[in-house]
Amino acid sequence: MSAPYKDLLDITDLLRECASQCLSYSHPFTPSHDDAAQPDSVDDLTRDLDGLLTVTSLKNTGDAKAAATSDTSHELLATRGSNTVAPVDLRDAMSALELGDKRMDCCEIPIKPLNTIDAKEKKDYTKMYDDLITHPPRIAPKNLSDGTTSSPVIKSDNASSEVTHVAKSPCPSLLPYWNTLSLSADSSTCLLPLLLLQFTALEAYIGTNSGGSNASETLFCMLWCHEGVLVDMAQRLDIWAEFNDGGKTIANSGPDVELTVAQWALFASTLGIVRIAEAVRSIVRDADIYEEEDFGVEWDWGEMKLCHQEEVDKVNDLNTEDPTRSDFGFNAEGRLVDRVWDVAISKLEEYKSSNSSVDRETIEAIVLLLRSHQSFYLTIQLLYNVNEGNVVKFSELAKKFSRETVALFKSLQSCLANVAKHDLLASDGQLCTVGLLSSPDKNEECSLFLGASFDPFVNRRLLGNAPIRKARFNPINSVINSMSILVSELEWAVCDVLLNADTFGRLTRMLSNNSLRGCGGAVPTIPKSDAEAYSQVGINVLSRSLMLLNLYFDDKLLGQYDFVDIIGQNMVQLAAAPGAMVESIGWIVRLSKPLYDTLKALCFDRHRERSFTESVLIPAFGSLQVEAAAVDEMFREANDLDPATTPYATNYVIMQTLRLMERHVGLGIELGLYPHWYDLSQAFWYRDYLLTALVNVHGAMERVRIERKLMEHQMKLEQEEEEKKYAHEHSCTSKKGGSKKKKGKKSRALSTLTTSSPRDRESLTIEAISMISPESFEDRIDFTVKSVHRYVCRGMVRLIAALHQAKLLKEPPTTMTLFTSEKRRFEKRFEVFSMLPHPSRLTFEEYKMGSDFSAVNREDLIASVKECFRAGKASVDRLLEVILPSDTEVTSSMTEQRKDDDLYISIRREEIMALAKSSHIGNSNRWWICRRIIIISL
C-alpha cells in the first residue's frame, strides 16, 4: 500500500490529526450551513457523513481515485464550515497539549460509554484506553445546523475487519430535534425532559449541594445554551414580529402549531436559564467574598446580545402584562427575556385551552417551569438593583416573588408526579437517562435526544487539559427541593434583613443567626442510599452575596441608615456612653470600618469567616483598642473627670473584641479543627474564659448604664422639684392680700412635696430603671445564651478531666509530640490572639494550671461537673419561659416575652432544646452510668 493512503485506513488517525488542529479551526467537525448533500467524490470514503461514518480499505481502488479521496477527506475534516484558518495563539497552543490521560480535555474520548465497561476490563486501565476507539471533543456549535444531521443510531453491527464503525456521531446537530419537538409525553422528542435537563444543569451550577460544579461542567455542556444557537433560534422564530403582534398569533390546532409552541417554550427556557446564570454569576463576582472560583472566567458568555443597539429602544418600549415590572430597572436584555417568557407562556396557555386532545399535564408542567424561572429571575434582579429610593419597595416585591416561586416549585412537583419521568444520571462524565416511555426504542431515542443536547466533552478553548467534567446531577425532586430552599433563603436571609434590621445590634444578631443556620463545616460523607434524605448545609452563596452587596450602598447602611448614627446608638445602648463622646464624629468614623468588617465577615462561609477574622479583624481591633484608650483619656481631660471614670470607648471596643474571639474559637470547634478530646479540652477551656470575660464586661457595663440612668432620673426629679418650688414661691409673692388659711394650705402642699418625696422618688426611680427597651431585652436573651454556653464549656472541661483521671480516655499517641510539643500546639492554635492588648493571650502554663484537677477529689470533681450542667439547665429553663412557640399567643409586652419566629432574638426554641439536652447530662441516666464507671475504676 502506498504512503499517501496510509492515514485513510484508520479513522482514529484522521480524528487525532484533526484534534491537534481543532482549536485553530472554527468548525473542524461541523458541515457548512447549507444542508445540501456531501460531494460525490467521497462516496468511497464515507457512506454518509451525516449518519453512520465508515472507512473502507482502499486496497482495491485506483491510485488517482484514492488520491482524490484523500485530498477531499482532509478538506472536509479540516475546513468544514469555514474557508479560513484562524491564527493559533499561545493559549490555543497550550490547550492542545496532551498531558497523559486520554480523557483529558482536547484529547481523545472513548466511544464506548464508561458505565458499560465491566470489572474485568477495568483491571488493565491503561491498556483498555489504548485499545478503545476514540474521538476528540466537539467544538461548541455556532448555530442549530452545526454538526451531523441524520440519526446516529447504528442499524447493523456486522462489520468486516477492514471497516471501522463510529457508534455515535461526535457532533450531532440540534436542527433535527428543533424541527421535531413535541409537547406530548409519549414522544421521543418530548420537550419536558429537555427542559428538566436544563433545570437540572442550572441547579448543579448554582445549587447549594452541587458539589462545586462550575459553568463549564454544567451549562456550557448544554449545547442549546450557546450564544450562536440562541441567536439562531431567535431568528427562526422571528421574535420581533411576535412581539409586535402581542405573541398570540397561533392557529387552533395542527402539528405545525404544536411545533411552534414547543420551539417558543424551548427558546424561553434556554434564554431564561442563561439569563439566570449570568445574573447569579454577576452577583457572586461583584460581592467578591472569595467563593467565586466556580463563577470565574473559565466560561464567559460575555454579554449575549440577541438585539443590536438600534433595537434596544424597542426592547425598552415593550409592554409587559404586569405594568409594575416596568419600574424594575432592568436593562434591555432583562426586558427581552421577560417578554419572551410572557409570549411563550401565553402561547402554551392558548394552545392548551384551544385543543382538547393535547397532553394537558405535560403542558401544565412546562408552564409551571417557565413561570418559576421568571419569578426567580425577578427576585434576584430586584435584590440586585436596589438603591436608596426603592430599597423597601424592591425588598417587599422580592419577598412576594420569592414566596410565589416556592409555591410554583411545589405545584411543579405535584404535576411531575403524574407525568412520565426521566431521571438523569452522570457516570464519569457520561450522561445517562432512565426513561419511562412506552417502548425501549423510544427510551433510546429520548436518550439520544438528551445526549445530543448535553455533551460533557464539548471543547473548552481557554481551559486546556483540565480534568474531564463530572457534574453532579440530582434527581428532579431533589433539584426542585434544592431550588426551593435557595429561593426561600432570599426571603429570610436578605429581604427580612433589609426590611427589619433597624439597629446595629439587631443587624448583627440577624446576620449571625443566618450564618449559624448554614455555612456549616465540612459536609459529612453519606452513603448513596441516604442521599435523598440528606438535607443541605449552609446558606447558598447567592443569598450571602446579595446580602453583602446590600449591606452598605449609597453611603448608608442597608441603603437606609446613617452608619455613624447607628454606631453611636449602639454605644449608648451597650456601653452607656455619654452624649458628648458619641457626638465625637472622628471617633465614631474610626469605628465604622472595623465594625462594618465584622458584619461583612458574617456573610462569608465559616471557613472564610475564620480566616478573615485572623487576617483582618483581629489586627484591626488590636489597633482600635489602643486608640480607644487614647479617646477615653482625652474625654476625661476635656471634661475634667476623675481618672477612675469608666472608660466607655475601651469597654465598648473590648466587648466587640471578646465577641470576635469567642466566635473564632467556637467556629474552630464546629469546623472540626479540634478533633481529639485533648484538643477539645483546650478549646472549651479557652472559650469558657472568653465567655466569662464577655459576660463580666457586659455585667459591668450594665451596672454603669443603670447607675447613669439612676443619676439622670434623680437629676430630672430634682430639676422638676426646683421648678415646682420656684413656681409655688412665685405664685405666693405675686398674690397680694392673700388669706393666712390659703397660705397655710400652700405651705402644707409644699411641705408634703418636700418631705414625702424621698420615698416617692425611690419608688419612681426603681420603676424607671426597671423599664427596659425591647432591644435591651434582646441583649439580655443574647447574654443568657452565652451564659448557657459558658456553663456547658466549663462542664465539658471538668468532665474530660474526670474521665481522664478514671483512665477512660485513650492517651494521646506518642507520634503527636514527635516533631512538636503540646505546648507548641497550644501556642500556635491561639497565636492570633497575641496581637490584642486586651484580653492578653493565655499561656500553656495557665491552661495546665486551670485544667489540672489531680488534687481534687474525684467525687468532688463529679459534683462540680453536675453543678455546671445544672446551672446551664436553669438558664435554659429561663429561656424557654420567655421564648414561646410561634403558634402561642403572647399576652405580655415585647420586654417580657417573645415568639419563636421573632427576627430579633438570638436563639430559637429548637436550638434551646438542643442546649437543654447537652445541659441535661447531669440528670440523665447516661450520666449516672458514667459516674458509676468512674467510681468503680477507683
At 177-210, the pLDDT tens digits run 999 999 988 888 889 989 999 998 899 888 876 5
pLDDT at position 527: 37
The candidate with the shortest Cα–Cα distance to 829, out of 686, 709, 653, 655, is: 686
Contact call for residues 849 and 826 (beta carbons, < 8 A): no
Q: Is 140 left (phi over 0), alpha (psi -120 to 50) or beta?
A: beta
C-alpha cell at 576: 452607656
Q: Which of 242-251, 337-346, 388-397, 749-758 has the lowest mean pLDDT?
A: 749-758
Contact call for residues 788 and 875 (beta carbons, < 8 A): yes
pLDDT in tens, 845-892: 999 999 999 889 888 999 999 999 999 999 999 999 999 998 888 777
Confidence band of 759 (pLDDT split at 50, 70, 90): low
User: Whole-angstrom Cα distance, residue 715 to residue 91?
Assistant: 78
Q: Is 63 left (phi over 0), alpha (psi -120 to 50) or beta?
A: alpha
β-strands 430-435, 883-884 pairing: unpaired
The candidate with the shortest Cα–Cα distance to 669, out of 659, 681, 657, is: 681
pLDDT at position 456: 78
Average pLDDT over residues 139-152: 73
pLDDT at position 423: 62
User: Whole-angstrom Cα distance, residue 426 to residue 469?
Assistant: 10
User: Whole-angstrom Cα distance, residue 911 to residue 777?
Assistant: 19
C-alpha cell at 169: 456521531
Angle between helices 740-755 and 757-770 (to 10 degrees): 50
C-alpha cell at 145: 445546523
Report the chain's terminal Cα–Cα distance, integer Å: 92
Task: Give the DSSP H or E segment for 431.
Answer: strand 430-435
pLDDT at position 267: 95
pLDDT at position 296: 62
Tell me: pLDDT of 395 over 50. Answer: yes
User: Whole-angstrom Cα distance, residue 28 to residue 76?
Assistant: 8
User: Whole-angstrom Cα distance, residue 849 to residue 843?
Assistant: 10
| SS3 state at 357 | coil
Contact call for residues 141 and 229 (beta carbons, < 8 A): yes
pLDDT: is 861 or 731 the higher one?
Answer: 861
User: Whole-angstrom Cα distance, residue 883 to residue 861?
Assistant: 33
β-partners of residue 898 are 883
Contact call for residues 628 and 650 (beta carbons, < 8 A): yes
Q: Which of 296-300, 569-573, 661-665 has the lowest mean pLDDT?
A: 296-300
Give, as one character, the DSSP assignment of residue 52.
-
Tell me: pLDDT of 497 over 90. Answer: yes
pLDDT in tens, 43-97: 333 333 333 333 333 333 344 333 333 333 333 333 333 333 344 444 444 444 4
Task: Give the DSSP H or E segment for 129.
Answer: helix 125-131
C-alpha cell at 469: 467534567
β-strands 898-899, 883-884 pairing: parallel
User: Whole-angstrom Cα distance, residue 495 to residue 546?
Assistant: 10
Contact call for residues 901 and 886 (beta carbons, < 8 A): yes
Residue 473 makes CB contacts below 8 A (sequence gap 6+) with 200, 201, 204, 424, 425, 426, 431
The candidate with the shortest Cα–Cα distance to 18, out of 104, 71, 101, 79, is: 79
β-strands 109-110, 54-55 pairing: unpaired
pLDDT at position 492: 92
Contact call for residues 241 and 264 (beta carbons, < 8 A): no
Task: Give the DSSP H or E segment for 339.
Answer: helix 332-354
Average pLDDT over residues 772-789: 91
- Cα dist. 432→450, 556, 751 in Å? 9, 51, 96
| SS3 state at 589 | helix
Tell me: pLDDT of 710 over 90. Answer: no
The candidate with the shortest Cα–Cα distance to 697, out of 654, 645, 649, 633, is: 654
pLDDT at position 797: 94
Tell me: pLDDT of 913 over 80. Answer: yes
Q: Is 554 left (phi over 0), alpha (psi -120 to 50) or beta?
A: left
* Residue spans of alpha helices (H) in 132-190: 175-178
pLDDT at position 464: 52
pLDDT in tens, 45-60: 333 333 333 333 333 3
Q: Which of 383-387, 537-541, 866-870, 895-899 has the lowest mean pLDDT?
A: 537-541
How many DSSP H helices and E strands does the chain contain? 34, 10
Buried/exposed 21-36: b ≥16 CB within 10 Å, e otherwise: bbbbbbbbbbbeeeee
β-partners of residue 427 are 430
Question: Any idea what the Cα angle at residue 401 is, between residues 397 and 405, rounded to 5°?
Answer: 170
pLDDT at position 508: 95
Contact call for residues 204 and 210 (beta carbons, < 8 A): yes
User: Whole-angstrom Cα distance, residue 49 to residue 495?
Assistant: 56
Give, as one character, the DSSP assignment of residue 81.
T
Q: Which of 14-18, 202-206, 904-908 has the lowest mean pLDDT?
A: 14-18
pLDDT at position 300: 44
pLDDT at position 513: 87
User: Whole-angstrom Cα distance, residue 335 to residue 322?
Assistant: 12
Give, as one character, the DSSP assignment of residue 363.
H
Mean confidence (pLDDT) of the chain: 75
β-partners of residue 36 are none
Task: Give the DSSP H or E segment for 914.
Answer: helix 909-919
Can you tell me which residue has the cell 438603591? 387
User: Whole-angstrom Cα distance, residue 588 to residue 568?
Assistant: 7
- Confidence (pTM): 0.80
Confidence band of 778 (pLDDT split at 50, 70, 90): very high
pLDDT in tens, 444-481: 777 788 888 888 777 766 555 555 556 677 888 888 99
Largest CA distance in the chain: 147
Task: Give the DSSP H or E segment for 348.
Answer: helix 332-354
pLDDT: is 505 or 915 the higher one?
Answer: 505
**How many CB atoms sit inside 10 A of residue 419's CB?**
19
User: Whole-angstrom Cα distance, residue 273 to residue 377?
Assistant: 9
pLDDT at position 426: 58
pLDDT in tens, 614-637: 999 999 999 999 999 999 999 999
**Rg (the chain; Cα; Å):** 37
- Cα dist. 133→104, 145, 845 in Å? 15, 26, 68
- Cα dist. 31→75, 81, 136, 142, 702 in Å? 11, 5, 16, 11, 79
C-alpha cell at 687: 472559650
User: Whole-angstrom Cα distance, residue 549 to residue 558?
Assistant: 9
